[in-house]
Amino acid sequence: MSKAVDLAAHPLTLWQGPLGLPDFSRIGDDDFGPVFDAALAAHQAEIDAIAGNSEAPSVENTLAALELAGEALDHVSSIFWCRAGAHTNDTIQAMEREVSPKMSRHFSAISMNEKLFARIDDLYQRRDSLKLDPETLRVLEKTWKGFVRSGAKLDADGKKRLAAINEELSSLGTQFGQNVLADERDWALFLDEADLAGLPDFLKSAMAEAAEMRGQKGRYAVTLSRSIYEPFSTFSERRDLREIAFKAFIMRGQNGGASDNSDVVRDMLKLRAEKAKLLGYGSFAALKLDDTMAKTPEAVHELLDPVWEKALEKAAADQKELERLAAEAGSNEKFAAWDWRFYQEKLRAEKFAFDEAELKPYLQLERVIEACFDVATRLFGISFEEKKGITVWHPDARVFVVKNANGSERGLFLADYFARPSKRSGAWMSALQSGYKLGHGAKPVIYNVMNFAKPPAGEAALLSVDEAKTLFHEFGHALHGMLTDVTWPSVSGTSVSRDFVELPSQLYEHWLTVPAV
């Protein structure tokens, strides 16, 4: 038996660190398991109470009660998924494999709770006579639809099968991500001074740092982190090394052995198709798109196909020009994928008389962050104040207080910019806490995670134009989370249609190239 957990006092669920953050210094990797179990049980008890309420269903006793239930589970989950993405290890990964199917089972049981759905359905059928404000109506409709899409209307056999499918899919999803991370973490190409022809200084520094992180001080590592892989394939004069790196990059999760994803993908596709059919959709795409603005796969194709054809034509024309450059440079090899970035850079240098490595020193990470904050201040009146010395999930992660124009605190913004082997690749925004007003309300605690190459101690981190764009883009998502002004937690910030969610971030990206910024 595990020892009893007091959710009202545990640092994972009662956040009493600096600025109201969780006190990360008191959280151990082994805490997650028992706290998850206790939080799941507490949430289940709340759900049972709502479903078993003898009073007639009302917005307060059903919809609001459901939204506010599970606070401890939300708290432990948000910290756990932050760690699983941004700073994982063997203990966290093992816990992820255990917790994913458990969570799936838990939420399936809620969606398929007949008494609970009967109460939601009662409110939904009476929605026009309830005189709801637009936000509450939207939450009610979204909740009802969520139950139906999760199988609330299936018969007993259908419910059982769907719960099993969901559980298996969540395990497969975890396995997929862990396999990719394993290949990224385990693969590195160690080089020496003589192999570095063409590489700019910022990249050599980053590769030296990456080699040292992997225990090979004095050498240089090509890793599969984009911030190293991409400039390496852009600048390396060594075609043979570019080929090795390219092949490793595209083969992530496909290298045979324990971390190979081929079977995982096949099983996922099969289960997704079965799930869609069970819920009455023609395909998994149709199920996925049903609650988005696009609605159907046909609408998506109508938009994408013409763009795809134009893009293909353009790419073919580009390749012709790159082949010409390669021939002029004396290459008699057949033009290959690992030549693309390299000659694209040469073409750009020829056309515009500058190269990326020359432009790069202008994009210091600190200046780009300042520019990001400055645009937010000018557009929305909010400002950012860094608080040093606060322990969060990793020493590289930084904490900023977000302030309204009148100086009051709006929320917190956390940012974790540098790549490391314990972090999955890519860039993302998420929340430790979403902002909302219902019940006692909560201030948003939003974070961005990036994978920029870490400079050696004392040197400034430098970003490519693409990386700076990524920073602006993810900061746009973060703003969406920080500027949110809603009552209901389930519609806070980026909890919008999948095909609306990219609008604020893409608009924000655009500001990077505005001269006044």
| Footprint on this chain of Zn ion (rule: CB under 5 A) | 502, 505
Nearest to Zn ion of 365, 478 (CB atom): 478
Q: Please, what is the minimum distance in Å from the beta carbon of residue 443 to Zn ion? A: 23
Comparing CB distances to Zn ion, the nearer of 230 and 502 is 502
- Name the minimum Å distance from CB 194 to Zn ion: 40
Q: At closest approach, how far in Å is the CB of 430 from Zn ion?
A: 12
Shortest distance, position 450 Cβ to Zn ion, whole Å: 13
- Buried residues in 170-194 as b, exposed as e (16+ CB within 10 A): bbbebbebbbbbbbbbebbbebeee
Query: What amino acid positions are annotated as catalytic residues?
Result: 474
Amino acid occupying residue 123: L
Smallest separation, CB 503 to Zn ion (Å): 10
Round to whole Å and give the CA distance between 51 and 78.
26
**Residue 455: its H or E element:** none
Half-sphere exposure of 206 (CA within 13 A, CB side): 27
Minimum CB–partner distance for residue 426 and Zn ion (Å): 10
Distance CA 27, CA 11 (A): 6
Cβ–Cβ < 8 Å for 483, 507: no
Q: d(Cα 206, Cα 472) in Å, to the nearest integer?
A: 22
Rounded distance between C-alpha atoms, residue 158 and residue 271, angstroms: 14
Helix (H, G, I), strand (E, B) or coil at 196: coil
Nearer to Zn ion, 96 or 474 (CB): 474
Q: What are the residues whose beta carbons fall under 8 Å from the beta carbon of 358, sequence distance 6 or more?
A: none
Return the closest-CA partner of residue 427 out of 461, 353, 478: 478
> Which residue in this structure is represented by tokens 């006190």?
23
DSSP 253: T
Rounded least distance, CB 129 to Zn ion, Å:
39
Q: Write out the two tokens for 66.
A: 């459901």
> CB-based contacts of 211: which residues, under 8 Å, 6+ apart?
188, 190, 217, 218, 219, 220, 221
Exposure string over 208-238, b if 16+ CB within 10 A, otherwise e: bbbbebbeeeebbbbbbbbbbbbbbbbbbeb
Distance, CA of 476 to CA of 428 (rounded, Å): 11
Rounded Cα distance, 181 and 85, in Å: 10
Cα 142 to the center of its chain, rounded Å: 23
Provide, rounded to whole angstroms, the least separation between the CB of residue 468 and Zn ion.
15
Could you tell me the end-to-end alpha-carbon distance of the chain, in angstroms, rounded to an integer?
59
